[in-house]
């Protein structure tokens, strides 16, 4: 590891570890709170958290062209509204361990979308890695279905998580140019605020805010942690490290998320690990390492 990139590597490790915690927090919260309400409140807290930094960095924001500003805002709605809503909806139906395992496909999905839009080049290692990851996810999902541990609801949750991963991967690919042009932090501030403010007129009409007084202290604490640690810290650090290390090396650290989430799920949520689930996790870790190998030639 190069000394000059040590901070970026450390930031990626912290971001991926926090992501594992947010899977557990969200899974607990989804047992009693509506997914749309939870996503809205989480990003309300996140917006308030980054507002002072947005004001502080306003000169950088003012340099953005109107076209780029609206493009970044649209990406913010995609990643900071649609993604968490789908993520919450998924964890209302499936387990934290299964959801986090599917989330580990994010870098591979990003590579696929990047290749489709000619942002990334496909190599033999990347193709083999994608196949290996699909087998790994298939093993983990099949194990639960075969043993009768989960049913149609969990399978639906898995499918929703795959859609969420696709949304997140799209943000990773299409936000790259704006990170490079304006810096990851300035882009993240705008995207986070847009993700909360743009959908607010619609969500305000749909959500029943009358249940807010009924939220328990534990639920409010989880929402506070998800809105602070789980947004500006997690996504801000990951965006910054991705900009410093590049998509391949930076995305590799996402494998820490399912590992952290699975360990915490066993401890905090009494979830069980089956041999096929562990095998699937190992295959996905190997797949992502394989994808990030430097090829001698591209396909």
pLDDT for position 294: 58
pLDDT for position 139: 75
Task: Choose among 95, 90, 89: nearest CA to 143.
Answer: 95
Least confident of 47-56, 75-84, 236-245: 236-245
Task: Choose among 223, 206, 105, 94: nearest CA to 159.
Answer: 94
Q: Radius of gyration over alpha carbons of the chain, in Å?
A: 19
């996503």: which residue's tokens? 39
- How far is the CA of 120 from the CAs of 85, 169, 215, 230, 299, in angstroms? 28, 13, 45, 28, 12
pLDDT for position 34: 87
User: Is 60 exceeded by the pLDDT of residue 299?
Assistant: no
257-268 confidence digits (pLDDT tens): 666 666 666 776
pLDDT for position 71: 95
Q: How far apart, in whole angstroms, are the C-alpha atoms of residue 119 and residue 250?
A: 16
Report percent pLDDT > 70 for the chain: 81
Tokens of residue 223, six digits: 């929402």
Residue 102 half-sphere exposure toward CB, CA atoms < 13 A? 25
Task: Cite the DSSP H helix spans in 57-151.
Answer: 58-62, 66-77, 83-91, 96-103, 106-116, 124-146
3-state SS assignment for residue 151: coil
Q: Cβ of 42: how many Cβ atoms within 10 Å?
A: 27
Q: What is the mean pLDDT of residues 219-247?
A: 83
pLDDT for position 151: 61
277 — pLDDT class (breaks 50, 70, 90)? confident
Q: pTM for the full model?
A: 0.77
Q: For the purposes of burial, counting CB atoms within 10 Å of the CB of 238, is it exposed (0-12), middle (13-18) or buried (19 or more)?
A: buried
Helix-strand-coil split of the chain, %, nearest 5:
85, 0, 15
pLDDT for position 1: 40
User: Is 50 exceeded by the pLDDT of residue 2?
Assistant: no
Q: How far apart, in whole angstroms, are the C-alpha atoms of residue 164 and residue 94?
A: 13
Tokens of residue 210, six digits: 């009358």
pLDDT for position 229: 85
Phi, psi (5° rounding) for residue 215? Answer: -65, 135
180-192 confidence digits (pLDDT tens): 888 888 888 899 9
C-alpha dihedral over 73, 75, 80, 85, to 10 degrees?
A: 120
């Amino acid at each position: 590891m190069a000394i000059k990139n040590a901070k970026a590597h450390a930031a990626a490790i912290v971001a991926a570890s926090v992501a594992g915690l947010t899977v557990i927090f969200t899974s607990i919260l989804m047992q009693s709170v509506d997914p749309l309400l939870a996503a809205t409140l989480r990003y309300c807290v996140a917006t308030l958290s980054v507002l002072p930094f947005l004001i502080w960095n306003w000169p950088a924001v003012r340099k953005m062209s109107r076209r780029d500003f609206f493009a970044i805002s649209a990406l913010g709605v995609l990643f900071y509204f649609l993604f968490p809503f789908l993520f919450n909806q998924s964890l209302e139906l499936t387990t934290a361990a299964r959801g986090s395992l599917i989330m580990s496909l994010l870098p591979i999905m990003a590579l696929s979308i990047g290749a489709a839009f000619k942002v990334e080049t496909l190599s033999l290692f990347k193709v083999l890695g994608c196949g290996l990851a699909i087998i790994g996810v298939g093993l983990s999902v099949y194990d639960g279905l075969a043993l009768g541990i989960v049913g149609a609801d969990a399978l639906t949750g898995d499918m929703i998580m795959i859609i969420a991963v696709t949304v997140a991967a799209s943000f990773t690919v299409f936000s790259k140019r704006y990170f490079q042009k304006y810096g990851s932090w300035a882009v993240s501030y705008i995207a986070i605020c847009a993700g909360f403010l743009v959908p607010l007129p619609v969500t305000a009409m749909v959500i029943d805010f009358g249940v807010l007084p009924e939220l328990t202290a534990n639920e409010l604490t989880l929402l506070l942690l998800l809105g602070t640690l789980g947004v500006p810290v997690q996504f801000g650090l990951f965006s910054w490290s991705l900009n410093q290390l590049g998509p391949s090396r930076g995305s590799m650290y996402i494998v820490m998320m399912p590992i952290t989430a699975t360990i915490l799920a066993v401890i905090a949520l009494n979830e069980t690990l089956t041999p096929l689930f562990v095998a699937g996790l190992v295959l996905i870790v190997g797949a992502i390492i394989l994808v990030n190998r430097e090829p001698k030639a591209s396909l």
